[in-house]
Structure 1
Amino acid sequence: MTLAYIGVGSNLERESHIQAAYHEVVKLGSVKASSVFECQPVGFDSHAFYNLVFELKTHLSLVELQKQLKAIELKWGRSVDAQKFQDRTLDLDILLFGDQVSDCDPVLPRSDIFKYEFVLEPLFELCPDHVIPNDGRSIKQVWQSFEAKGSLTKIKFIFK
């Protein structure tokens, strides 16, 4: 069983796509969800995003998990040729996968952990003491040194 952390985001039909993501990812293992946060898009102007992180205990390999997450994105309306800074129905990114470190697709740990509050705060909520592979710091230590805090709004969200 591997412990993985998956970043989740949507800015189109946000509530229904976050619900769908939860129900799809539950099929891949045992899931615990962080709070849902609203934030403005980074890198482009559009609708606000809902973001969260899933903690997933799974028997899937890294390659199989990545394949399954991509299939979920496509099933729920993500364009095959989706670009980085654009609207999306659903975005599922592997942030951490056990203690694996990788410089190729998917890059692990994902650099978004160190760049974006909408990734780091939900991780901090779920696993503050988790040590980031190849970095040596805990999520809590990264969070405490993170300077760009305060741009998120916690949303009251109930998974149905």
Structure 2
Amino acid sequence: MSFITLSLGSNQQPKRYLTLALDALSEHFGELTLSPVYESEAVGFDGDNFLNMVVALQSDMPLWCIRDVLKAIEDQNGRDRSQKRFSGRTLDIDILTCDDLSGEFDGVVLPRPEITENAFVLKPLADICPLQLDPVSGKSYATLWQQYDRPQRLWPIEFHWHDQALSGR
């Protein structure tokens, strides 16, 4: 079984699409570990704010299969792949880490470089995997968050999935 972390984000009906994504991920992968949900300003373009979170799961599926499941979930939830890279979206799901792999595997770069570039990825990852070591820097995600110094704002919001409150800390 591999330990995998995913980044989820949405800025179009974001509470609806994050809920639908969590339902689909639970259906495909079973038990999920969920970070708090954070709101942040769009990065790289002018647009509505995003809701973001990180999900951890375990799976024995090959990485390419997980990638394809995630793309299918995005597509089933209205993801328009004809849009520019930096644009609004109903749902974005990215594989952040898979165990301690570093490099390109089945077309997936691990760990995902955006982990250390974007507060909306690093903070929720540090929330649920504070002691996990980044295979590139060798530092824990909690340490990387403490050292993060980019001017990106994010703030916790109240969010509920089923009976679970995913409010920020």
Kindly indicate whether the alpha-carbon contact (under 8 Å) linking 1:28 and 1:58 is maintained by their aligned counterparts in 2. no
Match for residue 126 of structure 1?
Answer: 128
Match for residue 103 of structure 1?
Answer: 104
Identity %: 33
- Following superposition, the deviation at residue 124 of structure 1 comes to 0.7
Give the SS at the match of 1:78. coil
Kindly indicate whether the alpha-carbon contact (under 8 Å) linking 1:28 and 1:60 is maintained by their aligned counterparts in 2. no
After superposition, where does 1:50-129 map in structure 2 within 5 Å?
Answer: 50-103=51-104, 105-129=107-131
In structure 2, relative to structure 1, the CA distance for the partners of 1:135 and 1:28 (3 Å cut) is: farther
TM norm structure 1: 0.95
Structure 2 unmatched runs, 5+: 163-169
User: What is the number of residues matched between the two proteins?
Assistant: 160
> Residues of 2 paired with 1:28 and 1:129: CA distance?
26
- State the Cα deviation string for residues 109-151 of structure 1 (Å, max 9, x = none): 0001110000000011001100112331111121111113661
Match for residue 24 of structure 1?
Answer: 24
- Following superposition, the deviation at residue 25 of structure 1 comes to 0.7
> Residues of 1 paired with 2:101 and 2:66: CA distance?
13
Kindly indicate whether the alpha-carbon contact (under 8 Å) linking 1:97 and 1:108 is maintained by their aligned counterparts in 2. yes
Kindly indicate whether the alpha-carbon contact (under 8 Å) linking 1:4 and 1:57 is maintained by their aligned counterparts in 2. yes
